[in-house]
Amino acid sequence: MGTILCPSRVKTSLSEGALRPSDLLAQFKQIGPQTRRHISAAELLDNTVELIREMVYTSTMAQSSLPDLLSEEDMQVLLQATGCSSEMQRPLCKTGCLSERYRSFTGECNNRQHPKWGAANTPYSRWLPPEYEDVRGVPRGWDPEHTYYNYTLPPVRLVSQDVLYTHNENISLDSSLSHLLVEWGQWIDHDFALTPQSPSTAAFRTGADCTRTCSRDTPCFPIQIPLSDPRTGIQSCMPFFRSAPSCVGSEAFTGATPHHHREQLNAITSFVDASMVYGSSSPMAAALRNLSSPLGLLALNDQASDQGLLFLLVTVCLWVKLPVFCCLGDSRANEHLGMIALHTLFLREHNRLVRELHLLNAHWSPDTLYQEARKIMGAVHQVDTLLHYLPRVLGETPTSLLMPPYRGYDPEIDPSIANVFSAAAFRFAHVTVQPMVARLGPGYSLAPQHPPLPLHHSLFASWRVVQEGGIDPVLRGLLLSPAKLQMPGQMMVEELTERLFQAQGGMPLDLGALNLQRGRDHGLPGYSSWRGLCGLSVPNTTSDLAGILGNPGLAEKFLLLYGTSQNIDVWVGAISEPPLPGGRVGPLLACLLAKQFRALRDGDRFWWEREAVFTSTQRAQLHTVSLSRIICDNTHITRVPSDPFSRTVSPEDMLACSHPLIPHLNLSAWKEPDTGAVLLTLIPHLNLSVSP
């Protein structure tokens, strides 16, 4: 993959190529060869079993006997024939000092007894059994006439229009939190979850193109446009692909073992390990390194300069009339300007750490420098997320109650990302996104050469970073801009519900509808079931729901749409709860987020607070980690807030990078003696004579 960069061609290709929004959405879920092999094998297995079911069912067998259709022996033959058997093999865990010192790229063998827990290319965990439309794993709402608790499910686009839609101008700003907090949520989400969509783009039975058909036929699960929708007459549906199945626990197992259901795959490691910077496989990690460097550097693009600093590597990711260039690595870096800025920032930070460590430990090999910097980077993300990000989301008091102090690694805890967390709970921040992307010049002033942008003009627009001032204006905008405040009647801005990918041509998508459809695709139970799991009251009446939501009008709207609180999609129900004191999420989201982050912390053998991972001196230094310091060290920005996640009202409140409240990470705690040099100093004092 070359280090090419042609910004003008990128811009032209987007304007002339008529990319469909679904094309761009697919680009955000680019996966590696191992993941492609896995989901192709899983899809082949599911399709094979479905054909067998259909042939038998249409001939002699009654539907009630379908669970006994395939024996365990039959399934083993199919697993072998489709390639799923090789994907399900238990990995062999290495022993030795390196395996104790550094985590694997894939996340395998983090837990020695359960080497697949938290690893890439394993299914999401389930905290509640899925509720599909049938035993085969058909999504909720597949049949519009199918009833749940005596009510049909409303079209997701109708829910988006009635509950979520918010005019860009009709928003309230958060008085306490910066937009960098919103961006960090998406950034860290890209560290532990990536759900690949089906490898097929055409319907299994009919061969219809999923981007053009409005018929439901796996993997096509199009979002229908209701008659009341403003888009009626323009389009009948929005394209939607089902998430790819996993070989482990895929819907095919329902034939042999009814307790198994269709499960979706997490293509990356579940751990907070900065895998969006380094990759979740050895081949990707190698592709991102500068292997010609004697220092263990990551590769950056040397053909374009950000005032002397370098950009990400890029490669051709799409061909339309002209090539479309994307940043190399995690494909989601290309989603919008904020993601590109953070990816660039942390690649630069890795290289800065490597050079500093080399000055301290000239005897370290390139691999040691690379791995030690990677280890520090993982710890930086753990510190910033658990100590700084999460308390602002949950609130300080709920955090102290829901996140008890760290007590060490627990090998009985599964750190895998839960399906409900990935497909619903951690999408809460979508309702805190501002409709405008602020870009600011030096001194945090408006600059005519890079003005503020409507959000949809910043999507898939990596060329803007190169041509319009680099990453500094974007980061300044994130630091000074407040987050959007989530309130009833002010849920999701129209930039996301009506203009998603509009700038690239084609009919825009609706992020709210996509979120709801994804939850149904994954068989997530309804809102009330999750409140029950968390030990919260379950609403049975309109007044119950109104009391929980603190809004009788919203409660009535929900029950008019869904009929019963049992049917409310968990994502939209959870984001509708009023926030806990000092936080930005309600009781249900606080429960689900804390449950997941506790598992990520306590089930990680390489968690930064574990005594065997860093020395006490190193841990003390890591505790002082500051995102503001990282911005100072890797950009031309000279003034930053002491707390980058809190709202800074005025540029005058920013601090100079030299201020004591913006501390440096003192890497002297990582200095090791050169054993060779030590031995040379000891030789004169050693009695090396050999007795006869």
Binding residues for heme b: 430
Q: How far is residue 105's CA from residue 514's CA, in Å, rounded to a whole number?
A: 30
List the alpha helices (DSSP H) in 140-220: 156-159, 179-192
As annotated, the binding site includes: 430
Q: What residues have CB less than 8 Å from 296, skipping those under 6 apart? A: 289, 354, 365, 366, 367, 368, 369, 370, 371, 373
Question: Which pair of tokens denotes residue 32?
Answer: 């590696």
Per the annotation, the verdict on 190 as an active-site residue is: yes
Q: How many CB atoms lie within 10 A of CB 289?
A: 19
Q: What is the DSSP letter of 164?
A: I
SS3 616: helix
Q: How far is residue 603's CA from residue 412's CA, in Å, rounded to a whole number?
A: 7
103 dihedral zone (left: phi>0; alpha: psi -120 to 50; beta): beta
Question: Which pair of tokens denotes residue 550?
Answer: 């603190």
* 541 phi/psi in degrees, rounded to 5: -130, 170
Q: What is the DSSP letter of 459?
A: B
Q: How far is residue 218's CA from residue 42's CA, in Å, rounded to a whole number?
A: 14
Q: What residues have CB less than 8 Å from 639, skipping those under 6 apart? A: 444, 651, 654, 655, 656, 657
Q: How many CB atoms lie within 10 A of CB 452?
A: 17
Q: Given 190, 358, 388, 450, which residue is catalytic?
A: 190
Q: How far is residue 479's CA from residue 178's CA, in Å, rounded to a whole number?
A: 6
Q: How far is residue 60's CA from residue 75's CA, in Å, rounded to a whole number?
A: 21
Estimate the crossing angle of helix 337-360 against helix 179-192, to 10 degrees: 70
Q: How far is residue 463's CA from residue 436's CA, in Å, rounded to a whole number?
A: 18
Q: How far is residue 550's CA from residue 468's CA, in Å, rounded to a whole number?
A: 45
Q: What is the DSSP letter of 323?
A: E
Q: How far is residue 557's CA from residue 542's CA, in Å, rounded to a whole number?
A: 10
Q: Is there a contact between 428 and 394 (Cβ–Cβ < 8 Å)?
A: no
Q: Cα separations (Å) of 275 from 76, 123, 378?
A: 34, 18, 8
Question: Which pair of tokens denotes residue 625?
Answer: 């980690």
Residue among 128, 103, 127, 126 nearest 115 (CA): 103
Q: Cα separations (Å) of 622 from 271, 292, 359, 614?
A: 18, 30, 19, 9
* 436 phi/psi in degrees, rounded to 5: -115, 145
Q: How far is residue 239's CA from residue 21's CA, in Å, rounded to a whole number?
A: 9
- The residues with which 165 forms a beta bridge, in sequence order, are 492
Q: What residues have CB less than 8 Å from 669, skipping those under 6 apart? A: 615, 617, 618, 620, 621
Residues designated catalytic: 190
